[in-house]
Every structure is written in structure tokens, then in C-alpha cells.
Amino acid sequence: MAEVNARMVKSLRDRTGAGMMDCKNALVEAEGDEDQAVEIIQKKGLAKAAKRAGAIAAEGSVHAYIHPGARIGVLVEVNCQTDFVARNEDFQSFVEMIGLQIASMSPEFVRREEVVDATVADKRRFFEEQLAEEEKASGKKRPEAAISKIIEGKLNKWLTETCLMDQPSVQDEEGKVIQLIQDELGAKLGEKVAVRRFVRYELGEGIERKKHDLAADVAATLSGA
């Protein structure tokens, strides 16, 4: 069996960001094979992910994503626990994917916990008024239990569409929910990974465009001639 020395431990630590003892134990288990030791550390990260749930993730990346056509831009902050993981290719790919997700799906919140009660109440009231209008137009009254169930369904659908972590991924072939992809990445990297905040910009958004009445302009010109 190959002897594990300090140089080997340091090399593995540089590759994985794992603790010194974790690296040494993985090398011993892998009989000195560094690639195999990397796999061992990654697999053990699955078991350690739960322990890191309460860890502070203050490193990471602030990423600027510009959608093709340059009409939509996104600034997003994604956190991890170490600068080493922040430079990891898988982490950077996830950050880029989140930028694309936000640009494509226009979420308003990162997760459901951020949606304040007043916003939910306003949306509930909107759905109630919407159903009332439908009943008025059709002349058919739904049972109260049915109305409540329909409104809850509409609220849940709205939250799924408006909360980033509930949205199905636009890039994953299996259409996994973003939260699941984030958790899987955290398990693979052995660190807590979390989308913290984002801002989405769309060209011309919020600007009231002046409408020109060409016929009126021509008439005004002729009358003044």
C-alpha cells in the first residue's frame, strides 16, 4: 500500500477543499490513488450535506447574465462556503444556468418563504374576484368547498411559477425543480450552495411609450398649411 504523505494530502485538499484529515483518510482508503480519493470525498459529501445545512455560505459568485439579443439581463448572487468551490466548474455552470432560468422564466422571488402574507392575500382576492366574474358570466354558482379548492390550486400554481426554487429547470432534460438541482450540487461539492438574490432587467420595462397617431399628425399638418 502506498504511503500517504503531506504532499499528497495537500494536493487532494487543493482539488477538493476538504479538511486535512478527510483528505488523509480518503487517500488511505484509496491506497494513495488521488482520483479515487476525490470520488470517495465526493460520495461522503452526500452524508455530510445535512450537517452543513446550518453552515454559513458567504462565498460564491455575483454573476451577470445577458440573454441573446441583449434585451434581458440578470444579476444573481449564488453562495457557497469556500472560495475553492466558488471557482469549481460545476458551481460556475450552475450559476450560469440560474441566470438563464431567471431570464427565461421571470421569477419574482427566490423561494416561497420570501413571499409576504399581504402579497398572498392580494393574489387570493384576485382569484376570488376572477371566479366571481366567471360565475356571473356563466350564471352557475359553485359550491363553497369547490371554490376554496380551486383558489388553493391557483395559488399553488402561481407560487410555483413565481418562486425560482419551485420552477422546473429550463435546461435540465428531466425538468427537475431548481431546488433539487441546487441540493444535488451541494451534495456533490460537499458544501452548502444557495441562491441568495437576483435582479432581472428587461429592455424598456417600466417606460411608458408615447403613441403617435399618424393620421392626426397628417391632418394637423394639412390644416396648418
Query: Backbone phi, then psi, for 177, in 5-degree steps?
Result: -70, 140
Q: What topology is assigned to 6-48 in CATH?
A: Helicase, Ruva Protein; domain 3 (1.10.8)
Q: Long-range contacts: 74-77, Cβ < 8 Å, 24+?
A: 74/99, 74/102, 74/103, 74/198, 74/199, 74/200, 74/201, 75/198, 75/199, 76/102, 76/195, 76/197, 76/198, 76/199, 77/195, 77/196, 77/197, 77/198
Are 57 and 81 in contact, with CB atoms under 8 Å apart? yes
Q: What is the DSSP code string of 63-98?
A: EEEE-TTSSEEEEEEEEES-HHHHT-HHHHHHHHHH
What pLDDT is stored for residue 50 in this prediction?
Answer: 45
Which stretches of the chain drop beneath a pLDDT of 70? Answer: 1-2, 17, 45-56, 209-225
Cell numbers for 11, please give them. Answer: 494536493
Model pLDDT for residues 117-135, shown as the tens digit of each residue: 999 999 999 999 999 998 8
What pLDDT is stored for residue 209 in this prediction?
Answer: 66
Other beta carbons less than 10 A from residue 89's beta carbon: 7
Which one is the CATH code of 54-113+163-205: 3.40.1160.10, 3.90.1150.10, 3.90.470.20, 3.30.479.20? 3.30.479.20
pTM of the model: 0.68
Percent share of the chain, pLDDT over 90: 48
Q: How far apart are CA 129 and CA 147, in angstroms?
A: 11
Are 76 and 195 in contact, with CB atoms under 8 Å apart? yes
